[in-house]
A and B are shown apart, each in its own frame.
Chain A
Amino acid sequence: MNKYSIFNLARQAKNYHQNWQAAWRSPEPKKHYDVVIVGGGGHGLATAYYLAKECGITNVAVLEKGWIGGGNTGRNTTIIRSNYLWDESAALYDHAVDLWGGLSQELNYNVMYSPRGVLHVAHSVHDLQEIGRRGNAIHLNGIKSKFMTPEEIVKMVPYMNLDCRFPVMGGLFQQLGGTARHDAVAWGYARAADALGVDIIQNCEVTGFDIKGGTVKGMATSKGKISADKVGVVVAGHCSVLADMAGFRLPIESFPLQALVSEPVKPCVDQVIMSNGVHAYISQSDKGELVIGASSDLYTSYTQRGGFDVIEDTLQAIVELYPALSRMKMLRQWGGIVDVTVDRSPILSKTPVDNLFFNCGWGTGGFKATPGSGHVFAHSIAEGNMHPYAAPFSIDRFNSGALVDEGAASAVAH
């Protein structure tokens, strides 16, 4: 692998940058792999990377039906935070925040992790009580954050209209929350995994599983049959479709979640600011676009579109909180299909089929967890037993009743 460095940049400049090596190979699939990962989003690629890097399993393929990062990884609004309520979630999400810190060095790829701070504002006594409870819970888990009064918020975010229809009464600020560049996360993991021998195979859709005696043996794909000792399915919104191929159902429904970006402007929004009360959040990309999102569309769909009414509601809330933005032009709008569980927590689990593992249910908020999710999922597949951080997130919890209820922590805030 050509290392990315200042020296290599200078060396390549002499040849007008004609000689850079492709970031990853595009091999034809082999007949057999030790592990096949289905789904080339950030979570799948990270899983493959950690399998090769930390578990010594390098005969691995990632099968992606479209292009890598073309699913929710490349469609999300890149917010990273770990201020969840329960110990199980705090452990899993904070594991990811730990890994984000050194990720650019680890992958030799600038993922532009920017811990610029994430502010949740509260608009009612109930909102204040919710952030109070959650703030205290995360303090106990050693995750740094602070409560802010309206006066402190105005100092930090002078253009916010605190005296809006539902006045801002306070906030919870996680200093180490922030953003990262989503495409770079997919590409960085892909390039680093490829360098360790992982085959990344795009335009290869899995269409069925070969299951014998309750154990997965391989799969049918648009590029022919592939056999595998173990299979990890990481397909986000399409997890129910893949589960159906394997003969079971999941406690999941798939919804469109939309986002939009404005024309690029000079730096003005320094943090990520979200409001569960009036349903909108905003940040600014390094290119200068304002990145805006809100709640998902409320009916199940696989269309990657969503309705205009949701965009209208979102922008009404944005203009109410930030009147200065009322004349900004929006450039692009899109949707992704998010896999939502009732307790708003993910599923990292064994399944009724032996050697078939699922990592899904990240819903509207899994980007932040990408490195941690891949890391614990790789170890779980390699050992055949769920990693301690993953164990509370098994499918069985929906039958045992041990839900990890993060409804309040992830209502609108992804």
Chain B
Amino acid sequence: MMMIECPWCGKRDQSEFTAHGEAHIARPLDTFGLSDQQWGDYVFFRSNPKGLHYERWVHSFGCRQWFNVARNTATDEVYASYKPGEAKPIIKATTSRAKK
């Protein structure tokens, strides 16, 4: 069973949380100038890596705050949690196909 560290509540069982996919995808500012290609890429396309993944979680059955997690999707090892707005922590990759 996976344990996740909420930056506000501490280490809790994964079933208290909800995952919301890849983090650090900024909404484009020039929304009127965007082509269908660019809109589609922003809304639907994801890197979905096997290895290091920076992702958003909500502590749904706890404090209901959003935060980010760095996790290895090949092993489910959780490396770090950090608050929204903070920079990605640098993680020394442990799997072959893990990326920046």
Contact = CB atoms under 8 A, between A and B. Distances in A.
A254 B76 CA distance: 13
A238 B50 contact: yes
A160 B13 CA distance: 33
Residue among A299, A303, A398 with max Cβ neighbours from chain B (10 Å) = A299
B36 A254 contact: no
A199 interface: no
A64 interface: no
A194 interface: no
B53 interface: yes
A397 to B, nearest CB: 9
| Secondary structure call for the B interface | mixed
A226 to B, nearest CB: 20
A305 interface: yes
A303 B74 contact: yes
B47 A249 contact: yes
Given A307-B15, A399-B41, A300 B75 contact: no
B48 A250 contact: yes
Given A300-B55, A400-B36, A251 B19 contact: no
A142 interface: no
Interface string B18-45: 1101000000000000001101110111
A252 B75 CA distance: 19
Interface string A332-367: 000000000010000000000000000000000000
Interface in B36-78: 36-37, 39-41, 43-50, 53, 55, 73-76
Interface residues of B, number: 28
Contacts of B37: 399
Residue among A249, A250, A302, A305 with max Cβ neighbours from chain B (10 Å) = A302
Interface in A390-412: 398-401
A361 B50 CA distance: 16
B1 interface: yes
A399 B49 contact: no
A240 B47 contact: yes
A303 B71 CA distance: 12
Nearest to A312: B15
Nearest to B36: A399
A383 interface: no
A398 B40 contact: yes
A240 B40 CA distance: 17
Interface of A: 238, 240-241, 244, 249-254, 298-303, 305, 307-309, 342, 398-401
Given A249-B41, A249-B45, 10 more contacts: A251-B40, A251-B44, A251-B45, A251-B46, A252-B48, A253-B21, A299-B19, A300-B19, A302-B73, A398-B40
7 shortest A-B CB distances, which residue pairs? A399-B40, A299-B19, A240-B48, A251-B44, A309-B15, A398-B44, A249-B45
7 contacts: A251-B40, A300-B19, A301-B76, A302-B74, A303-B74, A400-B36, A401-B40
